[in-house]
Every structure is written in structure tokens, then in C-alpha cells.
Structure 1
Amino acid sequence: MGSGTSTFVIRWINFLTMLIAVAVICFGVWMNTHQDGCRKSLAFPVLGLGGLILLISLIGFMGALKNISILLWIYLVMLCLILVGILVFTVLAFIVTNNGSGHSKAGIRYKEYQLQDYSSWFLKELNNTRNWEQLKTCLVKSEDCNNLSKKYKTLKQYKMAKLTPIEAGCCRPPSECGYPAVNASYYDLSFHPVSSNNDCKLYKNSRAIRCYSCDSCK
């Protein structure tokens, strides 16, 4: 492949990524216009990501269009740095969450998660009151738990369902508590829990409480 063909490919690839970057930036601006604090908190990272993609794409596009070698070198270096960053992030994420793949329980098709399975650094950050309160507010607003009764019409459907980690950890008490399910969104808490797990005491049927403060949710 000749240099002319290479620059042509680089030029058009970066032109397409510039369009994607503009779309990402527009999405970030749209998120920032919402009153919802959860979406607003994600707006700046999205805008930053869009801006970074746009900058790199613009450098690559101009370097290929004008055949400016210094811009092409800058483009390649930035790409390498991003790839290294992604690799480092992936490795760190694997180390932090390696043991948190969930536990299978008899009689249920989904996995339950335990906070102590994760790294001490992750636990420290997650147990930071401010961090968790922000996340909890977003979970309550997401309506994932409140929609369970609509998603699973019968108790049989609910018991046979493969619940998501949020549904399994935040919307219901841990199975070890032994609370009978009345429906997908309501448990009979008049029964004394058969487990000493503190999450059993924290769970409430209230839409705003559920198990959002439970370790299983965190």
C-alpha cells in the first residue's frame, strides 16, 4: 500500500471519527441541559470524551490531508497513549473486580453479589458516604426496581427470571434472608429473617428505600 493510499485511508477514517465526536459532544450537551443530576454528572465526561476524539481526529485528518508529517506523528503518539491507557484501565478494572463475579445460589437463576469480594480500595471508595449517596440517588431515579412488577407479571415469572445485578442486589433482599416474595416488588417482612446478614434489616418495601443501602447493592 503506497503512502498516498495510506493517507487517504487515514483521512477518511478520521473524517468519520470527527462526525462521531461531534455526535458525542451533542449528546453531552443534551445531557447537560437536563435537570436530572444523574445525567448532568455524566455530561462532562461525555463532553471530554467527545472533545478528545475530535482533537485526535482533527490532527490525523489535517496531517493526512496536507501530508504534514509532524501532525501524523503527533496523531500516532496520541493513539498509542490512548491504547496504553485503555490497557492499563482494563487491567486495573480486572484486578479490582476480579473476585466480584457473583455467587450462584440454589433455587435461583441469577447470581448474588457480596461487597467483601471486591478490593479494599474499591470498598473504600464505594463506602465513601458522598459517593454512594450520589449513586443511590441515581438508582432510585432509574425506576429499575419499581418496574419489576410490570416486567414480571406473575410470581413464577419473577422467581424463574435471570435478574440483572441491580435487580438482584438493589431491588430485593438477599435470598438468605428468607423473606417470602408476594410479588416482584413486595416482600412479606413480617417473617423473622433466617440470616444475620445486616442487609435483611436494611431492606424495606418502600420505593425510595428497597435495598439501596445494602452491601449487596453496593
Structure 2
Amino acid sequence: MFRVSNNLIGVLNLLAFLLSIPILVTGVWLSKQANTECEWWLERVFIVLGVFLLLVSLAGLVGACCRVSCLLWLYLFVMFLLILLLLSFTVFAFVVTNKGAGQVLSNRGYKEYRLGDYSNWFQNRVNNTHTWNRIQSCLQSSKLCSKFQTQFANDTAQQFYAQNLSALQSGCCKPSDSCNFEYQGPSVWNKPEGANYTNSDCNAWENDPNVLCFNCQTCKAGFLQNLKTDWKKVTIVNVIFLVFLIIVYSVGCCAFRNNLRDNRKH
């Protein structure tokens, strides 16, 4: 009589196989639509994930349902590596996202972010010129500050200062509050003539929509704050997924043992 564990592994891998098809199709569709480097990166992620799910689920499906022990062994080996990889990433993510938070400003609805508050690993990534140029290109192509300008275009200075801005808006689309620039609009600020700034971000600010504060340390810090928030969400999902993978792996081991017993009988 065919074992329950084999049936269960077969059903789970059939579902994974069916799931891999729309993921792969989405990746191919994105590759046809991509206009920026950010979209190309997303397309590659979908295609790699789709192909990986397709191959692994096929190996598990055939190995469990057709009693092909070598394929089931390969499936379990890949699953074991995936569990180790996810466990390592989850621990690493908890460590690197442990530092960094926005600084509350007096009479301001938004916070400001300092690059030095974040982990050294994060700082090294955004301080790499090549890496930051790619990130900056993605931020600009997303029209982040254009939407910001439109959203708060009619605000007076006091209304603007009371706004609850996102980390990216606060860091990239306006100058640091320590510069004391004169507010003209959300992304238009007047620099006092002849002022000497110890904060390099004040010199980096330009009213040009293509420049703004994209080269500022506060922009890098705002990006890291946004990334940190996303990574924390991902780690929670990873923990749940890890528990699921460990259960599937345990069932797969039972199915593999069943295959070996059946092969001995035959």
C-alpha cells in the first residue's frame, strides 16, 4: 500500500510545480516590459525562483510518486541546503537590522536619519560608489521625489514641517534640517549666501529635480531605514517558511525511507 508520506510529498510538490509556472511567466513578461535596471533585477529574481521551484518540485514529485530514490535523495539534499541558507540569512538579517532608527526632531512631524547609526555592513554597501549609483538610479526612476513634490505642493512651511514623511522622502527629497535652508516648496529650498557648512549634505543639496539630496548621507540612511523595515518583515516570513520547510523535509525523509524499503522488497 502506497505510503501517506509519499502521497503528501507528491501533493505538496504538485502544488509547488503549479505555482512555479505563473512565477516563471511573470518573470518572462517583466523581461519584455523592463525599461530600467531595477525592473531587470526584479525580472531575474522571478525567473530564477520560477526555474528553481520547477526543477525541485519535479524531482520531489517524480521521486515520491514513482519511487525514484535517487531523485528523492536529490530533492532532500536541495531542501537541506535551502533550510541552511534560509536559517543563515534569517540570523544575519536579525544581526544587521538590530541597529539604526530615526531621530525625532523638535516641532517636526518627520524624523531624520543618520548613516552612522546603522550597521557597518549596511554602511559599506551604500558607501560603495557603484552600488549607490544603481540604487540612486532606481530611486530616481521610481519618481519618488516627483510624487513627493506633487503631494505637498500646496503646503506652507508650517504645514510641511508637520507632515509625517517616509524615511526616503525625508532623506532624499529635502535637505537636512540642520542646514536651515529657507523653505520655498517641498523640493525647493534657498541656501543662505556665503554660509559655511560642516554638514556635507548641505553642500550636496541642489534644487535640480535630478539631484536634490540623492547624493546626501541622509538619503543613504533613509534608504537603509526603508531596507531595514523590509528585512524585518522578510525575517518574520522566513521563520514561518523555515518551520514549513522543516516539516516538509521530515515528511520527505519518511517518503525516502519508504522508497528504500519498497526497493528492498522488490
TM-score range, shorter chain: 0.7 to 0.9
Pair 1:8–1:110, CA change in 2 (3 A): farther
Structure 2 Cα separation of the partners of residues 188 and 149 of structure 1? 16
What corresponds to 1:206 in structure 2?
A: 208
1:162-183 per-residue CA deviation (whole Å, 9 max, x = no partner) reads 3222112111112222224333
Pair 1:158–1:75, CA change in 2 (3 A): farther
Pair 1:152–1:74, CA change in 2 (3 A): same
Question: Any residues of structure 2 matched to 1:127-142 within 5 Å, and which?
Answer: 127-142=127-142
What is the deviation of 1:147? 0.5
Compare 21-30 and 148-157 and name the one that shifted more: 148-157
| Percentage identity across paired residues of the two chains | 33
What corresponds to 1:216 in structure 2?
A: 218
Structure 1 Cα separation of the partners of residues 186 and 82 of structure 2? 44
What corresponds to 1:28 in structure 2?
A: 27
What corresponds to 1:45 in structure 2?
A: 45
1:179-210 per-residue CA deviation (whole Å, 9 max, x = no partner) reads 24333332233478796321112111211001
Structure 2 Cα separation of the partners of residues 132 and 176 of structure 1? 24
What is the deviation of 1:144? 0.9
Mind listing any 5+ residue stretches in structure 2 that lack a counterpart? 221-266
- State the Cα RMSD in Å: 2.7
1:59-108 per-residue CA deviation (whole Å, 9 max, x = no partner) reads 22222322334433332332232122122112223333321233222333
The two structures have a TM-score, normalised by structure 1, of: 0.84
What is the deviation of 1:18? 2.0
Structure in which a larger fraction of residues adopt helix: 2
Aligned length: 217
Structure 2 Cα separation of the partners of residues 180 and 3 of structure 1? 77
Is the 1:32–1:40 Cα contact (8 Å) retained in structure 2? yes
Amino acid across the alignment from 1:198 = S
Structure 2 Cα separation of the partners of residues 151 and 114 of structure 1? 25
What corresponds to 1:109 in structure 2?
A: 109
What corresponds to 1:84 in structure 2?
A: 84
Amino acid across the alignment from 2:209 = R
Is the 2:9–2:61 Cα contact (8 Å) retained in structure 1? yes
Mind listing any 5+ residue stretches in structure 1 that lack a counterpart? none
Amino acid across the alignment from 2:104 = S
Structure 1 Cα separation of the partners of residues 57 and 110 of structure 2? 42
Amino acid across the alignment from 1:204 = E
Is the 1:178–1:193 Cα contact (8 Å) retained in structure 2? no
Is the 2:63–2:72 Cα contact (8 Å) retained in structure 1? yes
Structure 2 Cα separation of the partners of residues 111 and 3 of structure 1? 61
Compare 191-200 and 168-177 and name the one that shifted more: 191-200
Please identify the structure whose Cα radius of gyration is greater.
Answer: 2
What corresponds to 1:162 in structure 2?
A: 164
Pair 1:151–1:69, CA change in 2 (3 A): farther
What corresponds to 2:151 in structure 1?
A: 151
Specify which structure has the bigger relative contact order, considering alpha-carbon pairs within 8 angstroms and separated by 6 or more residues.
Answer: 2
